Amino acid sequence: MARHLITSALPYINGIKHLGNMVGSMLPADVYSRYLRQRGHDVLYICATDEHGTPAELAAKEQGIPVDEFCAQAHDAQKAVYDGFALAFDYFGRSSSPQNVEITQHFARKLKENGFIEERAIRQVYSPADGRFLPDRYVEGTCPHCGYDKARGDQCENCTRVLDPTDLIDPRSAISGSTELEVRETKHLFLLQSRLQHEVEAWVAAHEEEWPHLSSSIARKWLNEGLHDRAITRDLDWGVPVPADTWPELAAEGKVFYVWFDAPIEYIGSTKEWSDQDPENRDWKSWWYDVDTDVRYTQFMAKDNVPFHTVMFPATELGIREPWKKVDYVKSFNWLTYYGGKFSTSQKRGVFTDQALEILPADYWRYFLIANAPESDDSSFTWEHFTATVNKDLADTLGNFVNRVLSFSRKRFGDEVPAGSAAGEAEARLGEEIARLLAEYESQMEALQFRKAAAALRALWSAGNSYLEEKAPWLEIKTDQDGAALTLRTAMNLIHLYSVVSEPFIPASSAAMRTAFALPDDTATWVTADEAKALDFVPAGTPFTVPPVLFAKLTEDDLEAYKERFGGEPV
């Protein structure tokens, strides 16, 4: 049984992330990790804050605090939100860690040793008003490809094209706003990706048929356009320093590595952070070094990150000429939009993750986002759709089933699971249907098809309602008490099954369902097909309690209040 290494795109240190960021990487990675753990796999889920680069420096400057202090505070604030969403990272690290500095510098030295890094003199934007060279993100202007007037000097967030600062039309300093910019000569390190083109092509070719079409098509597009040598250092105060023992002149000038060079390495760095906390029991290299046949590595990210992880970072790893683990499967996502437009903090449009938790518990969001994950194309968040999904799937289909079964049984048979008669034809049909739907659910989870997995889970919940409507214990009890008791006992076993298999999606609600039954020896992590057919995990006589309402229905007043607070009109 393979070990599973799972990573999700590193959230940038600036600001709390919106729902699109959550569903585009961290949440599906968490759902998959939870599922694999339940199936008995050895799983390591690693993530971290991406802390280097221009925006962190600018944000710290705006707040008037040192950048390291800003990043420490922002890391803790983000981690609190992710804890609120019940993201079960094995470790959530920081790209500014000493471990990442050490490994990044090692990678750079090996690339130089192997002839894939060279020092070049380049002409770079200089701002006399600021008295400094301006790294790419310190330069803003109009994208020459799509005309977006807030493009940055490294990438246009509108059309996702990678840029250089000198590509921008009407460039200006992001520090002072000055347009009196010059171009002067300075030296930087370049990663010679062009020399690695054929190796990257061969590596992608070996994986792209297995990857989602979105991942393979983006990687192929970049390769078809040709890999270009890229500057991997910047003139910043905050970042992984260029090692003085290898490049003394550049180190003396204070050069640091480009954030997109060190950030992917942080997956390894963060694993070493995790390992260093308990070195006797954790071995970070066993997950990352010379382990291609033992570890299955799956990455989760939105489409804008795909080029860096399918082309640029693999080029780095190939150039090192050491057996570092490369990704096996890149699960990529399209955009989640807000009424068809972008989430925007400045325009107060859209829901950000901290605000989401202020409104409703995490399970509401977790289920909705995964059930509507933007896998095949972009998807749009609307309050109308959210409200309808919560009310239909969570409140009516699952929550109401749990409440009415347990409440009715307690009212008519007391606080223990009733015995009743032996299972009959209806229970046999139900068992077969549950086993079939469970197999479908497992199949979609294994294939990382999250919307289809959510549909299969919803079908499992619906099967319980169909059985209850067919047997109608509220009528059955009038003429056949043992039959009604059997129906309720079977339905309670469904609740227990739901508590197990729903855990990757709605962990808190699953725990509430499971702890409703006094089963001290209940250590089941999954449900086999035979167990699904038998539906007898919760025996007669088991004490139970009725949990609080799992999911409250959202009202029209709620809907209008949410739209007023967060914006609800299409752009």
How many residues appear in the chain?
A: 571
For residues 144 and 128, give the distance between their C-alpha atoms in angstroms, rounded to a whole number.
25
159 appears as a binding residue in the annotation: yes
Full DSSP string of 222-236:
HHHH----EE-EE--
389 appears as a binding residue in the annotation: no
For residues 419 and 341, give the distance between their C-alpha atoms in angstroms, rounded to a whole number.
55
Tokens of 439: 């197999």
Tokens of 133: 């060279």
> By three-state DSSP, how is residue 3 classified?
strand
Q: Which long-range CB contacts under 8 A does 374-377 form with residues at least 24 apart?
A: 374/23, 374/24, 374/333, 374/334, 374/335, 374/336, 375/212, 375/333, 375/334, 375/449, 375/450, 375/451, 376/334, 377/334
**CA dist 126 to 144, 162, 173, 392, Å?**
20, 20, 9, 58
233 appears as a binding residue in the annotation: no
47 appears as a binding residue in the annotation: no
Is the CB of residue 255 less than 8 Å from the CB of residue 234?
Answer: yes
User: Exposed, middle or buried by CB within 10 Å (0-12, 13-18, 19+), for 124?
Assistant: buried
Tokens of 74: 């922002």
Look at residues 445, 552, 416, 417 and name the one whose alpha carbon lies nearest to residue 503: 445
Look at residues 491, 380, 440 and name the one whose alpha carbon lies nearest to residue 20: 380
Measured in whole angstroms, the distance separating CA 270 from the mean position of its chain's CA atoms is 16
**CA dist 114 to 120, 264, 318, Å?**
17, 20, 10
Q: What is the dihedral of CA 221, 225, 231, 236, to 10 degrees?
A: -50
156 appears as a binding residue in the annotation: yes
> By three-state DSSP, how is residue 443 classified?
helix
Written in H, E and C, the secondary structure of 5-71 is EEEECCCECCCCCEHHHHHHHHHHHHHHHHHHHHCCCCEEEEEEEECCCHHHHHHHHHHCCCHHHHH
For residues 255 and 166, give the distance between their C-alpha atoms in angstroms, rounded to a whole number.
20
Residues annotated as binding site for Zn(2+)? 143, 146, 156, 159
Residues annotated as binding site? 143, 146, 156, 159, 345
Residues annotated as binding site for ATP? 345
